[in-house]
Amino acid sequence: MLRPILRLGDSVLAQPARPVAAITPEIETLVDDMIETMYAAPGIGLAASQVGQSLQIFVLDLSLGKDPQALTVMINPAFVERDGMQLEEEGCLSLPGFTSTVARPKRVVVKGLNRQGDEQTIEGTGLLARALQHEMDHLNGCLFVDRLRGISRDLILRKIRKLTKAGKW
């Protein structure tokens, strides 16, 4: 089932997510819905908080559904390592139509549970590292715009305020 994606301004997006206590049928349904919603958006990642569930879950697929092996489901993830730095353009399904250059680690290692509850570790560089960090930020109540400073941040927030006043956000 497609779920609505929350936008900047919704309080759920600004809250740290709670750990998942057990992988129940409700969690399995949420994961399925998140995958369907991510592909329909279309996007390469989606955190549970973006669909209104303050839980430590994200789904990720850099192939946009073209490679079934590329789909990652991560439950209760934690960073093991982060190093280096990359600067690239980034967007977010919760800020549709907005992008900006964001500093992210060049390499990350994340561990957590897969959808069966088995521990998994993912090492990513480049776009995968960026996407993992982006989704981890969501689980900590942080959007990419929160990582911006100065004029880049101000321009995006000003445009969103105008859209909100006009009833278009």
- Domain map (residue ranges) of the chain: 11-165
Angle at 135 between CA 64 and CA 133, to 5 degrees: 105
- The type of residue at 76 is N
Of the residues 36, 88, 119, 135, only one is catalytic, namely 135
Question: Average pLDDT, stretch 35-51?
Answer: 98
90 a catalytic residue = no
Predicted model pTM: 0.96
pLDDT tens for 120-149 read: 999 999 999 999 999 999 999 999 999 999
What beta strand segments (E) does the chain contain? 45-47, 57-60, 72-83, 86-91, 99-104, 107-113, 119-125
Question: d(Cα 165, Cα 169) in Å, to the nearest integer?
Answer: 8
Class of domain 11-165: alpha beta
Q: Give the 3-state secondary structure of residue 102.
A: strand
pLDDT tens for 78-122 read: 999 999 999 999 999 999 999 999 999 999 999 999 999 999 999
pLDDT tens for 52-72 read: 999 999 999 999 999 999 999
Residues 6 or more apart from 66 whose CB is under 8 A from it?
none
Quickly state the pLDDT bin for 164 (edges 50, 70, 90).
very high
- pLDDT at position 85, please? 97
